[in-house]
Structure 1
Amino acid sequence: MVRSGPSVLLPLALIALVLGSGLTLAALSVVGAFDPPPARIVVEKIETNTDANLTTSEVVDRVRPTVVRIETTRGGVVSSGTGVIYRSDGYVLTTADAVARADSVLVITTDGRSAPARVVGIDFTDDIAVLSTNLTDIESAVLGNTDELEPGETVLALSLDTSVTDPITSREVIADSSRRLDAIGGSTLHDMIAAAGTETRFDDGVMCSDTGAVLGIFTTRAADPTATANGGVDLPNTRFATSIDYAVKVADSIVRSGVARIPWLGVMSDDLDSITTARLGRSGTILSEISADGPADVAGLEVGDVVVSIDDSPISSATSLVVALRSREVGDSVTISYIRDGAQRVTTTILGNRP
């Protein structure tokens, strides 16, 4: 895990338009030699800015069939949350915090059907969880392209926290598409989408485009008063979402193996201050901790080294290091360029799986 520093400043004045919501997740089960052929999985990708003249109600109508209410029981206490069907074979994507330590989980569709759900796996670090249900004749969500999100674009936040038939919606404006979020207990979320909205409050939900494509899953950790978004100036009621691209990548790995497989270098790092950046003549991230016998340790990296690139990916901050690692796979060989004692050096290592 990597600590990160400042992120891009929030440019903008509020705009209130909309985007569709609903994030759903479902993935193929691993098929053995004697298993029947897997069911066909339907996952659609669309651009974020096409067919952009839908009303809020039209966007909600598009997303509604793919969003589910999640009811959990913990010690006799019932809680609710929101999930999204991301594949048509019954897998649902939600937050880790929504289902962690639950005694039972129930999924309720917007057409009134319900079914028990099994927690396939949880990634607590990134606040992502995958559920499996036996529901049939369900529709998977259309997934948007978050790579092209720009500050000032409008989106729609949607939640089924309070009602499965009457979703809570909020028009939001994108403030930043790569924010670091620090929350209570040392939790840090990287590369988050920040969206400023109305005073409508809800704990979790999905972020949608104005075409009804799911763009992200809102985390409840930003609702904590101790949570801070480093490097940005956030308006009241700013919410933070994990991009659907990364959430689905993690979810797919959970479905395949039961656990999240996240490329891991085995370091903690911080952003450079302005003086160090000026002295080096370039940006990077300075290593503050090295995990014993981890990939970085094996490669000979030391505390105080400044990482400036991973393969062909320039590193300008701790969060950019996290993003660069996310684009790789566990077991990949990577070349790391770093500065030690004023001299640039190069080393290689094999990425592990994050503990």
Structure 2
Amino acid sequence: MHFRSHLLSALLGGLVAAALVVYVMGSTEQEPVARLTTANGETAERYRSDAPVARTAPLPPLPAAAIDLRLAARRTTPAVVHVDARVIGRDRATVKALFGREENSGTTGGEGSGVIYSADGYIVTNYHVIQAADRVMVTTSDRRRYTATVVGTEPKSDLAVLKIEADSLPFLELADSDEAEPGQWVLAVGSPLGLTSTVTAGIVSAKGRSLSILRDADAIESFIQTDAAVNPGNSGGPLVDAEGRLLGINTAIASKTGRFQGYSFAIPINLVQRIVDDIITYGSFRRALLGVEISTLTESDIKRLGLRGRSEGVLVDAVFPGAAAALGGLRVNDLIVAVDGRAIRDLPELTEIIGRARPGDRLELGIVRNNKRRDVPIDLQ
């Protein structure tokens, strides 16, 4: 009897244990939380797990994808040209000061770079590359040489447009320089120190830089700053993004030695396009005018005007009678803090926006007057 009872107990215990195992195993067959489809059409199911997860030290971050700029370089290089500006029969000391080069042949001049802007032979470069030149020669990446005509210049932004008699030339897609951000990869392509088709890489370091290198009081300076290596000869060449789209025109370096020291500057393409299109269409840049003298807000301005909660903006120092600003009601000591809803921090930002506008355009200026924010519509002249 005792044997039977023990045997029955054992059998019952085994059945209970088996039932528990079946229950536990069955409970892992969960309904999927989501079904995912991969790019190649395969499906995968994601399940929710209620089991506690043992946590130790944080996992190391996954390695970032390698930056590969070879495609951008391949796209860009064919659209870059070498520009050789020659001056004949001028005062040698003057020309050497302008171009930094003198040759034994009796010809003086300078070298730079350029970028093909359109398939029919329009080329963009810097004004200072071809300034005062009697003859401009352009060499393409496949070593074809052309005599170039100067279509027009805009010294106040250091831009020039050349034309060569050629067609079906490679040119670059334009980027949107407003979308450029510090930290993004860029390439500078050109002929530094006479080395043609040279590619250097870096990142955008800052935007809206003013260097006061253009002498005119109403010059447009709002450079993209990068750390891509740029040297004499790079001037006028393209700055491109990681996809090979034209982001700007390399123009200057900040250096005590005349060679690259980590800071290079490019004219943003949105401004370049506005100026170059006018030069191609009309022969010159038709610039819109606001009719004011302006400066970046300073600490002394803030104290003098008793401004509250304001540390950025552009102050109106003078308004010219009969000009667009005067007709629109702008006053001295108005603080411009926005244009068409875009915040304005300093002078280069505002001068670039005005430079990209056309005569007759209406801009909605956000201003602060007597510590009160208001909008003032201005029809540019």
TM-score (norm 1): 0.72
**Map of 1:151-170 to 2, 5 A cutoff?**
151-163=182-194, 166-170=196-200
**Map of 1:251-266 to 2, 5 A cutoff?**
251-266=276-291
Change (3 A) 1:336 1:178: closer
- Letter in structure 1 aligned against 2:309: G
Tell me the residue number matched to 1:267: 292
Does the CA contact (< 8 Å) of 1:269 and 1:285 recur in 2?
Answer: yes
Tell me the residue number matched to 2:25: none
Q: Which runs of 4+ in 1 moved over 6 A?
A: none
User: Which string of whole-angstrom CA distances, capped at 9 and with x for unpartnered residues, describes residues 309-348 of structure 1?
Assistant: 3343443322332243245321113343434444556544
Q: CA deviation at 1:171?
A: 2.1
Gaps in structure 2 of 5+ consecutive residues:
1-64, 91-106
Taking the aligned partners of 2:186 and 2:284, their CA distance within structure 1 comes to 31
Once superposed, what is the RMSD of the aligned Cα atoms? Answer: 3.1
Between 1 and 2, higher relative CO (CA 8 Å, sep ≥ 6) is seen in 1
3-state SS, counterpart of residue 219 of structure 1: strand
3-state SS, counterpart of residue 151 of structure 2: strand
Taking the aligned partners of 1:346 and 1:151, their CA distance within structure 2 comes to 30
Does structure 1 residue 296 correspond to structure 2 residue 325?
yes
Tell me the residue number matched to 2:207: 177
**Map of 1:1-355 to 2, 5 A cutoff?**
54-56=68-70, 58-74=71-87, 75=90, 76-163=107-194, 166-183=196-213, 185=215, 189-198=220-229, 202-204=233-235, 205-220=237-252, 222-223=253-254, 236-274=261-299, 276=302, 279-282=307-310, 283-343=312-372, 347-352=376-381
Does the CA contact (< 8 Å) of 1:69 and 1:161 recur in 2?
Answer: no
Does the CA contact (< 8 Å) of 1:207 and 1:218 recur in 2?
Answer: yes
- Letter in structure 2 aligned against 1:265: L
- Of Structure 1 and Structure 2, the greater helix share is in 2
Change (3 A) 1:189 1:346: closer
Q: CA deviation at 1:351?
A: 0.7
- Of Structure 1 and Structure 2, the greater strand share is in 1
User: Which string of whole-angstrom CA distances, capped at 9 and with x for unpartnered residues, describes residues 179-203 of structure 1?
Assistant: 2222264575533110114586654
Q: CA deviation at 1:350?
A: 2.1
Gaps in structure 1 of 5+ consecutive residues:
1-50, 228-234
User: Which string of whole-angstrom CA distances, capped at 9 and with x for unpartnered residues, describes residues 140-183 of structure 1?
Assistant: 1232333332222222212124447x423322221113322222
Does the CA contact (< 8 Å) of 2:205 and 2:227 recur in 1?
Answer: yes
Taking the aligned partners of 1:101 and 1:116, their CA distance within structure 2 comes to 16
Aligned length: 292
Structure number with larger C-alpha Rg: 2
Q: CA deviation at 1:62?
A: 2.3
Taking the aligned partners of 2:357 and 2:72, their CA distance within structure 1 comes to 34
Taking the aligned partners of 2:254 and 2:173, their CA distance within structure 1 comes to 27
Change (3 A) 1:78 1:100: closer
